[in-house]
Every structure is written in C-alpha cells, then in structure tokens.
Structure 1
Amino acid sequence: MASEKKFQFVEADSDNASGIDDDDEDAKLVAETVEEPTVSLCGHQFSSLSVLIIGGVLFAALVTLGLLISIALGLNDSMTPTLYLRGAVASDSGACSEVGFSVLKGNGSAVDSAIATLVCLGVVRLQSAGIGGGGTMLIRNASGHVTSIDYREMAPGSASRDMFNADSSKAQLGGLSVAVPGQMKGLSLAHEMFGKTSWSSLIQPSVVLARNGFPLEKPTRDWAIQKEQQLKQSNPSLHSLLFTADGVPLPVGAVIRRPQLANLLQSVADSGSGDIIYNGSSISQRIVDAVRAAGGSMTLQDLAAYRAVLRPPLSATIRSNLLHTSPPPSSGATLLSAMQILRGFGPLSDSTLSFHRMIEAIKFAFVRRSEIADPDLESSVAAAVATMISQEEGDRLRAMIRDNSTQPLSYYGASSATTTAPGTVQVSVQRGEQEAVSVTESIGSPFGSLLSTVDGIVLNNAMNDFSIPNTVDLHGFPPAEVNFIKPHKRPLSSMSPVIAANTQLNDTIAVRAVVGAGGGPSIPSTVLQVLIDLLDKGKDVSTAVKAKRLYQRLTPDLVAIEEGFSEEAIAGLRSLGHSILVTNRSIGHSSAVYQDNSDPRRIYAASDPRDSGKASYGALFKLKKK
C-alpha cells in the first residue's frame, strides 16, 4: 500500500487569498502552475457579470469573499489547460461557475456548490433551466459512495396515453405540454442529505443577480431570436425582457433584470427549502393558474404529490475506470451500453477505424434506448437495462460490428423511435480527491412551453418527451410504447451525467473525471466522446471538451459531423458507407472536471465554448501536513 499522506483543511486567510504558504511544499504546486489573468481590473480578472455579483452580495460576506478569491485566482477565459488545486466548478455560464466556486471556498460541499450554480443558471440561462424544469443529479460523497437523485418532471394526474392524439403540437407548446416541475424538490433533497452550508446562503447570490441585473449571454440571445415570433405571440412579457419595444433583440451584454423572480427566490431562501413551490402556497397557485389559463390541467394536488426519488446509480468497469451514471428514466444506460461495446476494442484513437467503431456502437446503443422509461411504472425497464449494460451484451454486439462497412438500419434492430428536447444545462463539480457532483437539468425545448408565471418561472414542455401513439418517425418507426404517457409518470430523458473513478490506485479509488452534457438526444454520444478523449486518448480536459464531434441518431440514418472535423476521417467514413452531413451547428455542449491521479492535488476543468461556458477554480484550502 502506498504511504499515506494526511492533511488538515484550514480556511484560507483573508490576507493570503490563494491559501498558499510559501513554505508549504504541497501548496507550492499551485503557485507554479495556475495561469496569471490576462485581463485585469485593479490587478485582478473580472467579467462584467462578476462585477455585478460582487457589488450585490456584500451583505453575504462569506460568499462574496469566496467569489472575490475565486476570481483573483483566475477565471480562465481561454481554452488552454489550466491547473487547479483541490476544487473546480464547470458550468454553462462563467458567472454561475464563480457563484458555485465561492460556495466551495466558503467550505461548502460539492452538492452545496452545485445547488448554488444551478439556481444561478435558472436566472441567467432562462431558456434552458430553472424552477419550472427538472433534472438528474449524480453525487459522490467524501467516502466514495455514489447515489442518484431523480427529479425529472412528472405527468399530471389527469394525463392519459392518448391525450395528444388529436393534436401532437399541444405536447410542445401551451398548458398541456407542462409536466409537474421537479427542480426545487430535487435540490432540497440533495441539500438535506449532503448540504453543509445554509440553504439561504446558496439561493441569495441568485436573488441579487435577478434583482440587480446580469449581462445577457449569447446563447440566450441566439435562442430568443430563433423563437422570437413564438415568444411574441405566446409570452409577451418574456418577449419584452429580451427585445426592445420595436422588436429588436437586445445585444449581448445588455443588463437583464428579473425582479419578480428575485422576490420568488427570496421567498425560497427564507423558507429554508424548495417546498414552498409545492405546498399549496400562493406561488403554487400561480403555477397552476398559468398552466390552466393556457389549456392545461395541472392541479395543486399534482404539485403536492411530487417527490424527488433516490435511485442507485448504474455502474460498469471499463478497463481501469469505474463509471457511474444516472439510471432510467435518464439515458445513462445508453452511454454504458456503447462503452461496453467499445471496451473489447481497446483504447480508441483519432483514426477512421476508431470513429467507425464508435458510430456503430452508438447505433446499437441508441436502438436499445427505446427500452428506457420510468422504472416505477414500467416493469420491463429493470431487466432491459441490466442486459444493455452487461459485458455479455457488449461482447455480442461488438461481434456484429464489421470494420469494412456500416450496415442497413434494420441490421441494428431498430423497431421504435424516441426523441427528447435540446434545452439543457450541465454542472460538474469536484471538491478534494473524492467528492463530486455531475448534474444535468432542463426545461425541455428552449424556453420550454413558452409559458411563464407572474413570478418569472419559465415552465417546461417535458410532456413532449413522452412517446405519442399513432405517430411515426422519418423512417416509419412507431413510437416506443414503454414511454407512453401515464398519470404521474416521468418521461424518458437523454441526460447522462457521469462520475468516473480510477480503480488502479493502491490506497483509494479516487475521482478521475466528472462529465456531462446538454443538447437533447446528442447528450449520450457527446458524453461518450468526451470520456473517450480523456480516458482513452489521453487528451487534456480543455481539448476533450472543445474537440469536434460527430452524432449518429439512427433516424435520419446519417452521421452529423461538425465543421473542422478531420477531412481524412470524413473521407474514410464515407468510404465505409456512412452518410455524412457536415454541419455548422454545434453538437452538444459539455462541462467537465478531470483529476490527475498521479498527483491528486491537480484538478483541471473546462466548459464548452460552443455554449459560452467557463469554469471557475482555485485553491480551496491551505494544506498543512499533520
């Protein structure tokens, strides 16, 4: 057994913001490797949103101090690898990553940090996340135990299998498209089980952001422009938030204020948990009113009946890596199925053959995604998933892959179709060597149902993630019956958060990677490619996150590949029979944390430039040998 090093955590002194002692050998590493900021204000690097946050949270001294320290240690605006000590937060928004890292600096847990980051994203990334949606959170505590919290949205009690038969468009927009939201129930359960700091302190930075304002970010503006006519027709108040009176989209950087949401978040902070959303309060009533006014049937009883669910994670050992991911109704099984198929090929490379094998594995795995659904209401799911992620099934499907050619769609066993919406956010957090959170949230399509409450909650359209009878996809495949609507059922989700651990260490199984992605049905393949780049190809986390990607969804039967992908590989894939579509659109967006297990003090993080994401990081504590 390796010799044991023991350290004690000591809060960083205010006059030593880095938390590093000059005579501390274990801390000197950071002084030598953390990049100096290149854009400065009063000697430190700040984003425009950071300034607003700092000005607004002076009353919360501990959080603000942590935020200032995290910025001083360097919010990395470039995509070059940056070295961290003991902790990092990666999310879709650099400002929200700062909020989450300030919680780590204040001795909060990884779950505390994730909660603060997610609530912030609900304010800043209103098109993708928030109180009106749901998600799945994968948690590894300091002792190495992993659990999953399912807070996916749920169908109202009045929902039925055939409710959209007459008009399937009502599953996408309007009151019937809204499922019972789960975010605040999920975050409250996570805090109850794993929180260290007060609930109020995690919500308060977002109260300040919503009230004082925040710069409009490019992804929100881009989606607003795409949805402009729908927003104008369905939600004039949301339209006026993002456009001028003349209908001109506000520029990136314009300050957006959400005072009604600030008041609501203050109530959530003061109440001590998110239950105020569900317990029949005036906030609950206004959610129901907004849904029913738009033709929906949600009731106060539906909100009161909602529960976040603890589920055991799915796990598989792929070579020296123990992978944990979220179980159904999330799509972690799809990811593990592809990994098991690829396992027997050995480490992949950037060769045409490796990309071909990856595409073939994704096809086989995606076909079996049609067997995933809410395990509480569909008895067939448990056995189907156990088969999907087994080594034996991986071996069987691997033997069917032909290295000299792709095959017709029927070869992979496709018999039914599924789909999920693209509006998602990802948060990846690591604290120390063992503690980690990977969490994905969504409100469905961008801006969800296009409905919002008078409190500023943007409501999901998660009912569109169910399969609808009597419909077919582009290839004539019928919908997956296992994902048909039932009362109080949770729809299939593409979310596939992962925590990977290194099983080769002698004295402990330490976290190796924390990965997840947004992007609807491309999520499993996006996470797969980031993991392969990290674990097989040995790329640094920034390179892995920004690498050009491909996506094979089965229907339509073509491989979408981002511009800038290897021309040699594209030509090689075409020669093997793949139909290739080179696209200028982004395929997924990932946030990842990676730990160098050769020296557990080194933690790297990166967020996807495709979605303007940034990571926040730095020294959490001084390390003093006992």
Structure 2
Amino acid sequence: MSRSSSGGGRSSHRSTSAAGDDHHDDRGLGAAAAETHNERASLIASSSSSSSSGVVTIAPDSGSRRRPPRGSTASSSSSSFVSRLFQFSRRKVFALLLVLAVILAVVGGLGYFSSSSSSSQPIQFQGHGAVAADSTYCSEIGADILRQNGSAVDAAIASLLCIGVVNSHSSGIGGGGFMVVHTNDTDVVIDFREVAPAAAYVDMFKNSSQLSQVGGLSAGVPGELAGMAKAHEMFGILPWAKLFAPAIKLAREGFVLNEHQAAAITSELTYVRADPGLRAVFIKANGDPLAAGDVCIHANLANTLEAVATNGIDIFYNGSIAHQIVDDINANGGNMTYEDFANYRPVIRQPLVASYNGFKLVTAPPPASGGVTISVLNILDGFVTAQTKAQETARRHLYSEQTEPGPMQPRSLLAVQRTTEAFKFGYALRTRIADPFDTEYADDIAATLAEMQNVTEALNKRFRIHDNETFDPEYYGAIYDVEPTRGTTHLSVLGTRGDAVAVTSTINTYFGAKFTSPSNGVILNDEMDDFSSPNITNAYGVPPSPANFIKPGKRPLSSSAPTIVFNAKNEVYMVVGASGGTRITTSTIQVMQSVLTFGEGIDDAITRPRLHHQLLPNILMLEPAFPTNLYTGMQAIGHNVTTSTSIAVVQGIVQYAPNVIYAKSDPRKGGEAVVF
C-alpha cells in the first residue's frame, strides 16, 4: 500500500503555491521512469501473481507520522531513497527497480512510490482500489475495508464516519449530503441532504439572518446516517457494525490534529468557547484551543457511534438519541420535533448523465449542482474540440491508451478567460434550480435542468463569450440570487469490483450551528442558511430565488457535484468531487478539464492553482500561485480580480487501465490518498 502525499503541513513538503506553479512539469520520478513504465508494470504483475496481496492494516494511532506496514513504502520515508535512485543511469534504475519489485512481491506489498513533494506524481505499478479522503486516517480506514473484501459503499461509509470524527468541523452525522454510486449493473444517487423541519416557514429568518447560521433554528433534520443505511442496504457487503469500529476507536482514543483542523478551531474560537459541548472537545483545561499536534478525543460521539453500530439508525431517528438531539436543538432556540426525525427519509434519484470530450459523466441532480458541472463543460467542450492536440489527448484517454499521467500544461490567458466566462453562464443557471420536492417550481426546475444539458444551448452561450471582454451579471442571465454555501467534505472511492463512489457531505459552515448536543457529541448542521429568504435583494439588485425558499420537508440548494467518469469501454475512469461550498463546482470542473482534456495526472490537476467565479458577487478569485501575467491580463480584460488562499479541496482518483490507478488528496486540507 502507498499513500499519495498531499502536504499535510510536513516540513519536507513544498508549499502549496510552489506545488501549483503553472510552469512546473513534474511527471513523478523522472523521464527514465516513464520510459520503462510498461516493462516494470509487466514485471510486477507477473512477479506478484504468485504471491498474496495482503497488506498489514494501518491502525490509526495518536502519532501524526506512522510506521508503514511491511511491504509498503510511505511517502515520508521513501522520497530521499527514490530521489537518489533516479540519479543513476536508466539501466541501473531498471536493475534496482527489478530487485525492489521482487522484494515487494515476496513480502506481499503492492503499490507505488511517491515523492514527499505535494505536486510529485507517484508511479503506480499495480493497484486494486483507492480511497481519496481529506484525512489520511480516513483514506487508510476506507482502503482497509476494501482489503477485507468490502464494497466501495462499505469503504465510503467507514471513511465518512471517520471524517465525521477527525474533521467534525466540516462533516458528520449531524449533517447530510449526496452519494453517487456505480456498480456493474447500476448508477444511482442517494440524496441524504438535510430537510427543513415541519415548523419551518418561508420568512422565519426575516428578523435576524444570524439565526440561520447559529443556534437551534439554523439546523435542518440531519440525513447522514439515513443515507449511509440506505447505501448499505442496497450495496453493502460487510456487517454494518464493522464499518463503525475504526471511527469509534479514533473518537475514543483520540487522533492528532493537523494544521487545517487547528485553524478551523481558531477561526470559530468565540463560538467554540461559548458552547459547552464544543468547549469540552476542543478547548484545553488551561483555556487554550487545541493546536496542531495535540490529541483530540470525542468521547460522547464515540458512545453515540457505538450505539448506532449496535442498534442501527432507529435509535438515532426514533429512539433515545433522537429525543436528546431534538431537546437540545429546541433548548437552543430551535423548532424541531421528534416526528421530524422519525419522518426523515433519503431520496433515491436518477443521476444526470452527459458526455464531455467523448467521456460519460454521471453526477448528482438538483438540489445538488451536478447540472452546473454539465452546463459549463458543455460550453467548454466546443473550445476544446477545435484543438487537434486536445482531440488526440482525449482519444488516448477515452480508449485507455494512456497508461500514465502526462505533464502539467501551462494555461494561457485565453483559456482562463473562456473558463471564467463559462463559469458565469453556469452559475446564472444555478440561480434557477432547487429541490424538485417543491411542486410549485418543479416544472421550472426541470426546464432549467434541460437547458443545462442541452448542447445547443451551450453552443449559444459559447458564441456569447468574448475573448477580450466581460460583462455585468445580467448579460449571463442571472434572474435570481441564491445563498452562498460553505464548508463540506468530499470522498472518492474506487472499489475492487469495478464499483465506485463519489460522496460529498457537510454540516455547512465550520462547526455548523455552532453547538454540540452535549449528551451525545453530535455537532448539528446550520443547513437552513442555504435556503433563500424573500425580500432580501443583493447588492446587484438581483432578488432571491423563490425556488429555493424555505418550506417544511424541503432540502436547500447545494453546490455539491460528486461525479464518476467513464471511458468508451464504460469502465470507471475517474472519481472526483470537492468540498468548499460554492467553489466546489468550479474546482471540480477545472480538475476534470485538466485530466480529461489536457492529459495531466490527477496529482498536478489537483495541486495546480485554481480560479473561481460564481457570477454573484461579480469577482474573479485566483489563488496566489497564478502567474502574474494571468492576473494582470484578466484585469485588463475588465474583471474585478482578487486572490484567495484556498479555492475548494478536491479528492480524485484516475484509473488508466485495470489496476493502473492514481489517487490524490488535496494538499489544501492536508490529507493523503491511499492506493493498494
């Protein structure tokens, strides 16, 4: 097993900005490795066919650095060796790799090596599955479930439960989300988004918008556990309780905070100190917040997870835990009832299916934003297919002729301008979609969704993109405004049976409603803030979207866009998605474009600097590592340009051919992916 390094604050890693430099061409371990890739892959396959593929399970402990199991090479311990190795001649390289391959086969290890640099592309000899989470603990837990013959859904559930412990500020069983599932005979979306309680009403926040972000009134009925249970019922293999065990162990025994997690605590320190439940977990006895390197323990949450593992979700939605949470929500100003919990059901939806550059995309429909992804890619597709080089790159990908990543490609000012303008058209359409549960707007939502998927409509929008000019929001068709979304986590899983899962989960803003149900450790979401409210016109004179107004039982609009991509043989080619609120969709699109259009490796595609434009506000955001000429060039065209230190967090997996797998966890959040 190997882990694809993503930074994680380790001193030996390059900074994110350096890793994302547009002109950096890093194809992993060097040109010599690429030249002998096929020979080595064949050698490893033949050598390992007679040995077991068992890899010792890594049990997460309290250390931020863990000793790799026998037969595997962790990135932190292999980088210096590998860098020295490739200073030799090509013949010596191959000879040493031959010896190393035999050693790996004998001890049962199958994997790839990766440099400790956050932008280096690991060379993959052979792999059976992969998990890319925004926590190393959780990637390892998911991979271990796959090793135990679990399905991709099993791995996703175990990893999500882990994320709800280690990144509880972003995700957890007090929230909800969307899961795209592929098996050999079906593609389906499980919508476990939070819903408005029965007592909710359209202008419930007219006197204080703060109430939609903090306190019991901001919480929707959580759907996370109900979604997991439905997924397990449909696609699970391993016992339900087995999937909970690693997260329970982490919550009870503790885990080491990284810099991102510590920064999240600091950013909401006033609220964390004010809430007894949050304070008990994240504040030390001396009053200081937990810092990077400290051990964090969720004792009450461990008890709750153990109860659900033993008794199933009924105890959470109909039993004692439901009563505890409802009472705590209402004690904090909420309007929840026991019936709200008892009546919660996930929704099984048909995925949106589209093509881009010859690939098939399967993504999540409203109230998720997979339609925005399709709309923007449809617009960009016409620009791409006019380029002979891009056509050839796409053809090689499509028919699985590319067996390893290509180099990072520099972006031109023209490409950045066209991408930005396509984003603005896509986000204009986003203002007209919402939960189709609301029958009053269901027809309008369906019409907008059809427009998003219509290639002729995309062509019309493409013709309206000017290479040297930008316009005010109304030019792009913004009829309404919608609330910006925040937070979230994303997880990508490639199973060993050809199955795959892309799942995005959230409690919305950091620490959700800013309070924990004290008796059970559940951090509640503030998802009611994702609804629009009437009579609140934004700074551009655009009114709120009535399709996204609050109604009992309704789910708020989400920026989530979990996506699975297939090649021409209908094999899983890519599993991808992002966290980061409204920036999710633009970041997912850019990574997909880099891989599917320009042939870049998933490592470079994720670490390269990104841009974001959501039309409203009419601001173009660029990460600091963007070249100066692109920054000033976009200003000269007329864009209002600003910098943002982190534009979303993407987790991706690419499978070039059976058992040739690359995975990457975004260094912006400090996790590591696992391929085994």
Asked if structure 1 preserves the Cα contact closer than 8 Å seen for 2:111 and 2:127, the reply is no
Q: Aligned residue for 1:621? A: none
Asked if structure 1 preserves the Cα contact closer than 8 Å seen for 2:254 and 2:297, the reply is yes
- Using the alignment, how far apart are the partners of 2:584 and 2:635 within structure 1? 24
Written as runs of structure 1 = structure 2, the 5 A alignment for 1:51-70 is none
* Equivalent of residue 586 in structure 1, options 611, 623, 646: 646
Q: Aligned residue for 1:62? A: none
1:358 has 2:419 as partner: yes
Q: CA deviation at 1:27?
A: 4.6
* Equivalent of residue 219 in structure 2, options 178, 185, 188: 178
Residues 39, 541 of structure 1: alpha-carbon distance in 2 compared, 3 angstrom cutoff: same
- Using the alignment, how far apart are the partners of 2:632 and 2:456 within structure 1? 33
* Equivalent of residue 666 in structure 2, options 608, 611, 614: 608
1:413 has 2:477 as partner: yes
Residues 384, 69 of structure 1: alpha-carbon distance in 2 compared, 3 angstrom cutoff: farther
Residues 26, 395 of structure 1: alpha-carbon distance in 2 compared, 3 angstrom cutoff: farther
Q: CA deviation at 1:29?
A: 13
Q: Aligned residue for 1:89? A: 131
- Using the alignment, how far apart are the partners of 2:451 and 2:416 within structure 1? 25
Q: Tell me which moved more, 96-105 or 472-481.
A: 472-481
State the Cα deviation string for residues 88-107 of structure 1 (Å, max 9, x = none): 00001001000000000000
- Using the alignment, how far apart are the partners of 2:495 and 2:310 within structure 1? 27
Written as runs of structure 1 = structure 2, the 5 A alignment for 1:222-301 is 222-233=263-274, 235-271=275-311, 273-279=312-318, 281-301=319-339
Asked if structure 1 preserves the Cα contact closer than 8 Å seen for 2:132 and 2:652, the reply is yes
Q: In structure 1, what residue type is equivalent to 2:655? A: Q
SS in 2 for 1:441: strand
Q: Aligned residue for 1:107? A: 149
Q: Aligned residue for 2:529? A: 464
- Using the alignment, how far apart are the partners of 1:530 and 1:242 within structure 2? 34
1:543 has 2:607 as partner: no
Q: Tell me which moved more, 256-265 or 127-136.
A: 256-265
SS in 1 for 2:184: coil
- Using the alignment, how far apart are the partners of 1:536 and 1:433 within structure 2? 27
Written as runs of structure 1 = structure 2, the 5 A alignment for 1:431-446 is 431-432=495-496, 434-446=498-510
Asked if structure 2 preserves the Cα contact closer than 8 Å seen for 1:427 and 1:516, the reply is yes
Unpaired stretches in structure 1, ≥5 consecutive residues: 1-19, 49-67, 619-626
Asked if structure 1 preserves the Cα contact closer than 8 Å seen for 2:283 and 2:289, the reply is yes
Q: CA deviation at 1:162?
A: 1.1
1:197 has 2:255 as partner: no
Asked if structure 2 preserves the Cα contact closer than 8 Å seen for 1:288 and 1:300, the reply is yes
- Using the alignment, how far apart are the partners of 2:304 and 2:114 within structure 1? 30
Written as runs of structure 1 = structure 2, the 5 A alignment for 1:316-395 is 316-346=354-384, 350-377=411-438, 378-379=441-442, 380-395=444-459
SS in 1 for 2:348: strand
Q: Tell me which moved more, 411-420 or 254-263.
A: 411-420
- Using the alignment, how far apart are the partners of 1:224 and 1:539 within structure 2? 35
Q: In structure 2, what residue type is equivalent to 1:569? A: L
SS in 1 for 2:234: helix
Q: Percent identity?
A: 39
- Using the alignment, how far apart are the partners of 1:42 and 1:139 within structure 2? 30
Written as runs of structure 1 = structure 2, the 5 A alignment for 1:29-44 is 40=67
Q: CA deviation at 1:405?
A: 1.2
- Using the alignment, how far apart are the partners of 1:163 and 1:578 within structure 2? 37
- Using the alignment, how far apart are the partners of 2:520 and 2:564 within structure 1? 35
Q: In structure 2, what residue type is equivalent to 1:416? A: Y
- What's the RMSD between the two structures over aligned residues? 2.6
Q: In structure 1, what residue type is equivalent to 2:485? A: A
Q: CA deviation at 1:471?
A: 1.1
Unpaired stretches in structure 2, ≥5 consecutive residues: 1-40, 59-64, 77-106, 391-408
Q: In structure 1, what residue type is equivalent to 2:472? A: P
Residues 289, 499 of structure 1: alpha-carbon distance in 2 compared, 3 angstrom cutoff: same
- Using the alignment, how far apart are the partners of 2:373 and 2:153 within structure 1? 24
- Using the alignment, how far apart are the partners of 2:281 and 2:476 within structure 1? 47
Q: CA deviation at 1:239?
A: 2.2
Asked if structure 2 preserves the Cα contact closer than 8 Å seen for 1:437 and 1:499, the reply is yes
Q: In structure 1, what residue type is equivalent to 2:334? A: G
Q: Tell me which moved more, 97-106 or 405-414.
A: 405-414
Q: Aligned residue for 1:12? A: none
Asked if structure 2 preserves the Cα contact closer than 8 Å seen for 1:221 and 1:242, the reply is no
Written as runs of structure 1 = structure 2, the 5 A alignment for 1:305-320 is 305-320=343-358
* Equivalent of residue 595 in structure 1, options 652, 655, 658: 655
Q: CA deviation at 1:28?
A: 7.1
Which runs of structure 1 show a deviation greater than 3 angstroms over 4 or more consecutive aligned residues?
A: 20-24, 26-31, 37-48, 68-79
State the Cα deviation string for residues 187-215 of structure 1 (Å, max 9, x = none): 00000000011111101111111111111
State the Cα deviation string for residues 255-299 of structure 1 (Å, max 9, x = none): 11111111111111112x3232112x1101011011100110101
Q: In structure 2, what residue type is equivalent to 1:315? A: V
Asked if structure 1 preserves the Cα contact closer than 8 Å seen for 2:75 and 2:115, the reply is no
- Using the alignment, how far apart are the partners of 2:44 and 2:412 within structure 1? 47
Q: Tell me which moved more, 82-91 or 284-293.
A: 82-91
Q: Aligned residue for 1:13? A: none
- Using the alignment, how far apart are the partners of 1:516 and 1:290 within structure 2? 33
* Equivalent of residue 132 in structure 1, options 169, 174, 178: 174
- Using the alignment, how far apart are the partners of 1:393 and 1:433 within structure 2? 38
Q: CA deviation at 1:45?
A: 5.8
Q: In structure 2, what residue type is equivalent to 1:473? A: N
- Using the alignment, how far apart are the partners of 1:564 and 1:405 within structure 2? 24
Q: Aligned residue for 1:501? A: 566
Q: In structure 2, what residue type is equivalent to 1:313? A: P
Asked if structure 1 preserves the Cα contact closer than 8 Å seen for 2:156 and 2:501, the reply is yes
1:426 has 2:490 as partner: yes
TM-score by length of 2: 0.80
Q: In structure 2, what residue type is equivalent to 1:490? A: R
- Using the alignment, how far apart are the partners of 1:458 and 1:69 within structure 2? 41
Q: CA deviation at 1:484?
A: 0.2
Q: CA deviation at 1:73?
A: 7.6
Q: In structure 1, what residue type is equivalent to 2:294? A: A
TM-score by length of 1: 0.86
- Using the alignment, how far apart are the partners of 1:369 and 1:77 within structure 2? 39
1:557 has 2:612 as partner: no
Q: CA deviation at 1:571?
A: 2.6
Asked if structure 2 preserves the Cα contact closer than 8 Å seen for 1:433 and 1:600, the reply is no
Q: CA deviation at 1:138?
A: 0.3
